Structure 1
Amino acid sequence: MPAHNSPQVAMVAGETSGDLLAGLLLDGLREKWPDVRSFGIGGPQMQERGFDAWWQSERLAVHGYSLELVQKLLGLLKVRRQLREKLIASPPSIFIGVDAPDFNLGLEGKLREAGIKTVHFVCPSIWAWRADRVDTIRASADHVLCIFPFEPELLARHGISATYVGHPLARVIPMQPDKLAARAQLGLNADDQVLAVLPGSRSAEVKFIARPFFDAVAILLQSRPALQVVVPAVPRQREKIEAMARECGIADRVRIVTGQSHAVLAACDCTLIASGTATLEAALYKRPMVISYHMHPISWRLMKRKQLQPWVGLPNILCGDFVVPELLQDAATPEALAAAVAQWLDAYSRQPDRIHTLEKRFTELHESLLRDTPKLAADAIEKILADTKG
């Protein structure tokens, strides 16, 4: 096995968010070991840092319990088997699974049995749902890199070694976002009332969420004709989102932009947003939001059975309170969504203290997540490698 002073690091990162996290980790590893070699499954952020992608991270992109998952399952199992065999035949210094727990934990367990040190980056949300997964984590990972401050103590109770490394988004998003600059970038006026609509980045999310979101926008525009509505769309979903806007009769009333989600969140007064990582981004931008989600009824029933907390949105989970409203599944009617958004928009003039209180809560949240993630993660990896050598 290679010496730890020139490590060979096998990694698997799933989807865009995992690619971003892995890219930051590679920054820390390259700072510590300029000649580090990394390979496995990754995306463009990782490849920009010299990562050798044997498969692309987008291969791991699936959604819930949908038919898409079933269709991809056999292909994913084949990729995982081939990767496992390749790594066991030529062991790396360490394996790091970045997010994608359904794919990575099983792989980590097999590699660990073969004597390869394993790290899982991003603790699975055992505090929110699927608490039974803690046994799998303990069997699979020698160490877990955590992005939320309460997770290491939780894992320690179950005999799992972990390090809090901060949330990388807290470093990317400024503590005091420049709303005026973001509006200028998007061609919006300083005094516009701006709503950001984020219906998700996956195909299934757009299918189930975009329609009620856009119907809610149509309701809002009836009473607020001057409202500026901006929709950041990932390139692969833009055509579907544009088609949905046409179906809802608001195509000429909304501005759909490719990417630029951070600029849109910085520019907005409020966001109507699908539950997921984007809600944390909105919180770090200190923006009021209405969190919603809608999925196939079967997927929803399965998810509800395993839910451990009263909150679904990350801002509410991290604050331990319903600081922003959540309208989920059957409760996510266009009328209810529009009413919840209208309350935030009106609060700027009628309840400014409500806005200020929320901004204060989100600033405190931001501060708690702000750490030197690349360095802390690389330091933890270095310690594991040193222990292996010893």
Structure 2
Amino acid sequence: MRIAIVAGELSGDQLGQGIVALLKKQYPHAIIEGIGGPGMIKAGLTSLYPIETLSVMGVVEVLKHLPAILKLRHGLLKHFRIHQPDIYIGIDAPDFNLPVELKLKKQGVKTIHYVSPSVWAWRESRIKKIKKATDVVLAILPFEEAFYARHGHKAVFVGHPLANKVALEEDQRSAQTALQLDQNSKWVALLPGSRAQEISRLLPLFLESLIQLKNKGYEFKVVLPVAKSSLYSLIDTHQALIQKLDVKVIDQKAHQVLQACDYVLLASGTATLEAMLYKKPMVVGYKVAKLTEVLVKKMIKTPYFSLPNIIAKEALVPELIQSDLTANSCAKALQQYFDYPEKVSSLKQRFYQLHHCLIQDADHKVVAEVEKLLNS
């Protein structure tokens, strides 16, 4: 048996790690190959290409890297024509995975797409392509199963695997001990993303906002987990700001950092869901190239862009995007948490409720759907 599984970025690698481990246990003699990061590789995936090639977001950014991405896709499809898999699991990265899934499905390969594209938020017309490309969509948000049912396609709500792994009750002290963080201080975690363009656009703004708060007399310490080693050189370009704040830089360990911190400044994306599961008050920001903004703005249908707000269907956490994201606006949003502890307490309670909803034993549910397809 041959199982293909492709993740396009580190958040997808985290989703895929448990799946690969369970598949190896369920099918010990199967060849499991595709594209993954360190987690999936450690679990037993043979990665045919580096995951970094696909870790690009935004219309303009993708155009810059398009030749390399197309070359990779061509090579991957050629490999799967020669070594046809029994099933293909595309984890997120819809702009890459859906065309691959479509071609492979035409070859008779069973296809699963894990993590629904945000078709309920923008470009709803993509549902037609998803229906053609996939046998089933595995959804991490509770309302998505019904959305697909209305469009006549099978989707299964599997929850988020991290919801099972993160304790409902906080255990901040143990994480602070493990990371050697001062337990008498308030800690602000910076998660500006795992892509180079995210670091360039967001990290200096986040750092400058914290300097503003320091200048106002607020006392806290700052911790920055670096998602991958290739980002260190880019982070070093902001060394003056980092040194001014005496930032504690940590290699990876983003989950432990989220568990250990008191507040979070972070890029929009999967990390906002993870911060919610750790019950952390957060300020969410994002910036893309101007052309990307113009193209995307007309297609957005949802009033929110961060996952906690989308799931709750209300503005639980501040969202700052494009021109609204400045060092000043970021500082003001974060200051609210320092000034109003009752707001923090209320927010944590809502996060607890949402966390409980997402506990579904996702890894086992995904593998169960794989088995159903393989046996059909």
TM-score class, shorter-chain normalisation, is: over 0.9
Partner of residue 4, structure 1: none
Deviates more, 1:78-87 or 1:262-271: 78-87
Q: Determine whether 1:319 maps to 2:312.
A: yes
Q: Determine whether 1:254 maps to 2:243.
A: no
Matched letter for residue 235 of structure 2: I
In 2: Cα distance, 1:305 partner to 1:365 partner: 30
In 2: Cα distance, 1:330 partner to 1:231 partner: 24
SS at match of 2:153: coil
Distance verdict in 2 for CA 1:251–1:143, change over 3 Å: same
Q: Determine whether 1:376 maps to 2:361.
A: no
Contact 2:21–2:44 (Cα < 8 Å) also in 1: no
Matched letter for residue 210 of structure 1: L
In 2: Cα distance, 1:249 partner to 1:84 partner: 43
Selected match of 1:31 from 5, 25, 43: 25
Partner of residue 7, structure 2: 13
5 Å-filtered alignment, 1:86-105, equals 86-105=79-98
1:267 positional shift: 2.0
Distance verdict in 2 for CA 1:48–1:183, change over 3 Å: closer
Contact 1:26–1:374 (Cα < 8 Å) also in 2: no
Q: Determine whether 1:358 maps to 2:351.
A: no
In 2: Cα distance, 1:42 partner to 1:160 partner: 27
1:249 positional shift: 7.1
Distance verdict in 2 for CA 1:41–1:219, change over 3 Å: same
Partner of residue 59, structure 2: 65
Distance verdict in 2 for CA 1:54–1:263, change over 3 Å: closer
Partner of residue 265, structure 1: 258
Q: List gaps (5 residues or longer) in structure 2.
A: none
Partner of residue 272, structure 2: 279
In 2: Cα distance, 1:249 partner to 1:185 partner: 22
5 Å-filtered alignment, 1:225-244, equals 226-234=219-227, 235-244=229-238
SS at match of 1:175: coil
In 1: Cα distance, 2:249 partner to 2:83 partner: 47
Distance verdict in 2 for CA 1:180–1:224, change over 3 Å: farther
In 1: Cα distance, 2:182 partner to 2:304 partner: 35
Deviates more, 1:280-289 or 1:372-381: 372-381
1:253 positional shift: 2.9
Structure with max Cα Rg: 1
Contact 1:214–1:245 (Cα < 8 Å) also in 2: no
Deviates more, 1:372-381 or 1:42-51: 42-51
Distance verdict in 2 for CA 1:255–1:86, change over 3 Å: closer
Matched letter for residue 34 of structure 1: P
Q: Determine whether 1:158 maps to 2:151.
A: yes
Partner of residue 56, structure 1: 50
Count of residue pairs the alignment pairs up: 375
In 1: Cα distance, 2:277 partner to 2:173 partner: 17
Contact 2:18–2:43 (Cα < 8 Å) also in 1: no
SS at match of 2:6: strand
Selected match of 1:173 from 162, 166, 177: 166
SS at match of 2:15: helix
Contact 2:10–2:194 (Cα < 8 Å) also in 1: no
Query: 1:336-368 CA distances to partner (integer Å, 9 max, x unpaired)?
Result: 1111111101222xxx2x222211111111111
Contact 1:242–1:251 (Cα < 8 Å) also in 2: no
RMSD: 1.8
In 2: Cα distance, 1:58 partner to 1:212 partner: 24
SS at match of 2:105: helix
Distance verdict in 2 for CA 1:384–1:20, change over 3 Å: same
Partner of residue 214, structure 1: 207
5 Å-filtered alignment, 1:301-316, equals 301-316=294-309
SS at match of 1:66: helix
SS at match of 1:48: helix
Partner of residue 367, structure 1: 356
Contact 2:222–2:245 (Cα < 8 Å) also in 1: no
1:326 positional shift: 1.0
1:329 positional shift: 1.3
SS at match of 1:166: coil
Query: 1:49-69 CA distances to partner (integer Å, 9 max, x unpaired)?
Result: 3222222222211121234x2
Deviates more, 1:318-327 or 1:179-188: 179-188
Distance verdict in 2 for CA 1:253–1:79, change over 3 Å: closer
Query: 1:357-380 CA distances to partner (integer Å, 9 max, x unpaired)?
Result: 211111111111112222111111
Selected match of 1:196 from 189, 194, 210: 189
Matched letter for residue 253 of structure 1: D
Q: Determine whether 1:146 maps to 2:139.
A: yes
Distance verdict in 2 for CA 1:227–1:382, change over 3 Å: same
In 2: Cα distance, 1:179 partner to 1:238 partner: 27
In 2: Cα distance, 1:252 partner to 1:152 partner: 45
1:86 positional shift: 3.0
1:197 positional shift: 1.9
Contact 1:272–1:290 (Cα < 8 Å) also in 2: yes
Distance verdict in 2 for CA 1:287–1:249, change over 3 Å: closer
Query: 1:216-250 CA distances to partner (integer Å, 9 max, x unpaired)?
Result: 1110111235321222222322332243141x475
Contact 1:96–1:121 (Cα < 8 Å) also in 2: yes
Selected match of 2:102 from 84, 95, 109: 109
In 2: Cα distance, 1:201 partner to 1:170 partner: 21
Matched letter for residue 43 of structure 1: G
Q: TM-score, normalised by structure 2?
A: 0.94
In 1: Cα distance, 2:242 partner to 2:155 partner: 50
Matched letter for residue 276 of structure 1: G
SS at match of 2:58: coil
Distance verdict in 2 for CA 1:154–1:218, change over 3 Å: same
In 1: Cα distance, 2:94 partner to 2:340 partner: 40
In 1: Cα distance, 2:173 partner to 2:337 partner: 19
